[in-house]
Structure 1
Amino acid sequence: MGEQDPSDRLRGDQPKETKENGTGSFSQFSSSVRTMVRIRQKYLAMKKRRLEIAAVSSQSFVSSRSTTPKVFTFDNVYDPVTSNPASPRKRKKKKKGRVLYPSSSLRAKPTKESSRAKNCLYFLFIIVFLQIYNAIENLDDHVLKYDLEGLEKTVKREVFGQQEVTERLLGHLRDYLSTYVHNKPLVLSLHGPTGVGKSHVGRLLAQHFRSVVGDELVLQYFVLHHCPTDDDIPQCTKSLDSHVSEMVTQAEEAEKIPVFIFDEVEHMPRELLDTLRDLINSQNNNEYLNAIYILISNLGQEDITKFVLHNSSVSVSGRLSLSQELTPWLRSYLQRHHMLFLEAELLPFMLLEKSHVMDCFIDEMSREGFYPDRPHVERLAEELSYYIVGEQEFSHTGCRQVVAKVNLL
């Protein structure tokens, strides 16, 4: 066999290569077809969109030409969204004007001016402060002038068993004497049974105020001594009226407060009570408003005794309020006696217990120079009569018989 011609080999081998590359050429053809289809679809979509935009723009242009002529702009051609009449127009926000501040070098600094009103305000504050301070100092000086601290020490030392009523008495005096100008006089009415210390308190008050304001501004009036009979009543009323008027006038000139102490008020006739009430309620002159009236009596002593004995079972701390419980009833009783007591602050004195009577014996024996032997004092106290309620003993006559007992020693 001879060698083959090269051309024959080429022709013989060609069908074999075509078969082998048939599958690859078909896949390349399908992918290119799909690409051409996608390009055509995109082209048609873009063309359709351009036609729609052109149609909308042409309609808006025609409608604008049919209306009144307007200045032509390119807003409707290139901005179909804003050219649509159905779409709302956006309002342009107004730009706020910028606040321009001058530079630091050109800024005019305010001049500091002194205010006269501010200086006047400071001056007014100083004046008010000085006046208030002066008023407080004057109040303290006015109270110190009457030496109420000394009076308090004396009362606590010499009055036994009446702590509450003495504290109320000193409180009224302290409040009233803290100033000189008043709208009414101070009227204090001391009530209680015999021997509980009412008259003794009156004597201590008279002695103290005589030492601080003078004898001429203190009147200690004993009814049975100054007006003993009924025939002296007209003269007593005139004398009392003139004496009180003279004292208040003198006290007004000296800028002091006079003190009038009336003991044994239960024996005072009605004419004197009326005169005294007119003097207390006098509105003619201001000097009558600056005065202290102290009324001492045993009016209602029987009922006060019953009230204390009935409430004696109350503890010591509770007994301190007995005088406050007794005050409303005592006021209604005294109003029936005379209307003078309407103007008074009532200070009821309680019964004295046996221990208080022994204190009275010790004080009196010390005054007379006797040694206060405790067993001896107890024997002297046993000689007096007492109300016995449970374990408590209240003296019938208080400390009234103590002086007589000590004088017999």
Structure 2
Amino acid sequence: MQANSNILVSVLFFHLTIFSLCPVETLEPVTSGIAVVTALAASGLFAGYELLKCRMYECCDDRWLIANLTGMKTALESRLHGQHLVVDTTVRAITGHIKNKNPQKALVLAFHGWTGGGKNFVSKIIAEHLYHKGMESQYVHLFIATLHFPHASKVETYKDQLRTWIKGNTTKCPRTLFIFDEMDKMPEGLIDAIKPFLDVYPEINGVNYRKTTFIFLSNTGGNAITEHTIAHWEKGKRREEIKHKDMENVIILSAYNEHGGLWHSNIIEMNLISSFVPFLPLERKHVKMCIRDDLRAKNISDEKITEEILSKVADELQYHPPSKQLFSKSGCKRVSQKVDLILEDFDND
């Protein structure tokens, strides 16, 4: 069906092109009338084809770009544990950018923190609530440094490929989301290739990049964030009292000075990152929340989810610092695997 529709549209456009190339005075009245009718019919058929196609296949319109901002906020508040700074900063940044019909520049979020803190999880939630197809959307692009940019010696080639990819996909849909994972493992200097797309230019070579969103995920700054959180705890302060402004400068210094994708980058120097978002290290109580979520996802009823099971899984993880055992070194990243092992033990008992 789709192939036949494409052929029909191509034929109609061919005739439209032929008629458009013919001077009006060279056509007889009847021929001119036929040309006009054919053009109108073709445009009507094309509009109908586009309407039908976009009902069945993903297009860059409101049916597929859902922008469920309320749902995103609710999902982050209920499914993300121990990250009050992430919820507040991310929701405000994305909501402001999406609601602005003419943003000044692309939205650029830098997620920093230890592994397992929820950086990929939050990116997934964002995609799920901005695009009908979530991470499977053709307008969501995930780059993994060790997979897509493994060789430091090929930085110049990667730069050309990256610029071409971003330009082509932004041309197709201005509301495109680009996610860069493992920024700490990205070849140094590569990310500066996209600097023009993040700046305040109205357009570059006819393409407007100001409605795009870029998310950088990095472990860089994780140690500094953790040490700051420990110092806060030692003062007897509640975790929820940590403010975004307390952490932002810590992240900027770490991202700029630690070797990795943002090391001495022009993107940081030119203040093109909209917000540095700190992912705090997760405490044991947050890990237990993740364990409960995983058990529920595996169809374990709440009455069977005992404190014994939660503690047994949590005890399988390593905590920092050794003397205080405050924070999970791997966050919630290994929780699902540990749950499987514990469930197997319980089944065998």
> With structure 2 as the length reference, what TM-score do the two structures score?
0.68
Unaligned runs of 5+ in 2: 1-61, 258-262, 344-349
1:296 equivalent in alignment to 2:217? yes
- What does residue 128 of structure 1 align with? none
* Kept in 2: contact 1:152–1:170 (CA 8 A): yes
Q: CA deviation at 1:347?
A: 0.7
- What does residue 275 of structure 1 align with? 193
1:359 to 261, 281, 289: 289
Q: CA deviation at 1:390?
A: 9.4
In the alignment, the residues of structure 1 paired with residue 102 and residue 96 of structure 2 have an alpha-carbon distance, to the nearest angstrom, of 12
1:164 to 58, 65, 85: 85
Letter in 1 for 2:279: F
- What does residue 161 of structure 2 align with? 239
* Kept in 2: contact 1:353–1:394 (CA 8 A): yes
Q: Hey, which of these two has a bigger chunk of helix by percent?
A: 1
In the superposition, relative to structure 1, how do residues 220 and 169 fare at CA in structure 2: closer, same or farther (>3 Å)?
same
1:216 equivalent in alignment to 2:138? yes
- What does residue 254 of structure 2 align with? 333
Letter in 2 for 1:275: A
The Cα offsets for residues 12-34 of structure 1, whole Å up to 9 and x where unpaired, read as xxxxxxxxxxxxxxxxxxxxxxx
1:195 equivalent in alignment to 2:116? yes
Letter in 2 for 1:218: V
Q: Secondary structure at the match of 2:234?
A: coil
2:272 to 339, 343, 357: 343
1:395 equivalent in alignment to 2:316? no
In the superposition, relative to structure 1, how do residues 207 and 228 fare at CA in structure 2: closer, same or farther (>3 Å)?
farther
* Kept in 1: contact 2:284–2:326 (CA 8 A): yes
The Cα offsets for residues 351-402 of structure 1, whole Å up to 9 and x where unpaired, read as 1111000001111111123342221111211222223699882222211221
Q: Secondary structure at the match of 2:142?
A: strand
Q: CA deviation at 1:328?
A: 1.8
> With structure 1 as the length reference, what TM-score do the two structures score?
0.59
- What does residue 152 of structure 2 align with? 230
In the alignment, the residues of structure 1 paired with residue 230 and residue 322 of structure 2 have an alpha-carbon distance, to the nearest angstrom, of 7
Which one scores higher on RCO, CA 8 angstroms, separation ≥ 6?
Answer: 2
The Cα offsets for residues 54-110 of structure 1, whole Å up to 9 and x where unpaired, read as xxxxxxxxxxxxxxxxxxxxxxxxxxxxxxxxxxxxxxxxxxxxxxxxxxxxxxxxx
1:179 equivalent in alignment to 2:100? yes
In the alignment, the residues of structure 2 paired with residue 173 and residue 360 of structure 1 have an alpha-carbon distance, to the nearest angstrom, of 25
Q: Secondary structure at the match of 1:196?
A: coil
Question: Higher Cα Rg: structure 1 or 2?
Answer: 1
In the alignment, the residues of structure 1 paired with residue 323 and residue 151 of structure 2 have an alpha-carbon distance, to the nearest angstrom, of 45
* Kept in 2: contact 1:308–1:322 (CA 8 A): no
2:184 to 242, 247, 266: 266
- What does residue 133 of structure 1 align with? none
Q: Secondary structure at the match of 1:348?
A: strand
Unaligned runs of 5+ in 1: 1-140
In the alignment, the residues of structure 2 paired with residue 313 and residue 319 of structure 1 have an alpha-carbon distance, to the nearest angstrom, of 14
The Cα offsets for residues 33-54 of structure 1, whole Å up to 9 and x where unpaired, read as xxxxxxxxxxxxxxxxxxxxxx
In the superposition, relative to structure 1, how do residues 215 and 241 fare at CA in structure 2: closer, same or farther (>3 Å)?
same
Q: Secondary structure at the match of 2:256?
A: helix
In the alignment, the residues of structure 1 paired with residue 214 and residue 186 of structure 2 have an alpha-carbon distance, to the nearest angstrom, of 15
Give RMSD over aligned pairs.
2.7
The Cα offsets for residues 122-150 of structure 1, whole Å up to 9 and x where unpaired, read as xxxxxxxxxxxxxxxxxxx99x9411111
- What does residue 208 of structure 2 align with? 287
* Kept in 1: contact 2:151–2:187 (CA 8 A): no
Aligned residues with identical type, % of pairs: 24
Count of aligned pairs: 264
Letter in 2 for 1:180: K
* Kept in 1: contact 2:177–2:213 (CA 8 A): yes
1:248 to 170, 188, 210: 170
Letter in 2 for 1:247: N
Q: Secondary structure at the match of 2:115?
A: coil
* Kept in 1: contact 2:225–2:250 (CA 8 A): no
Letter in 2 for 1:343: L
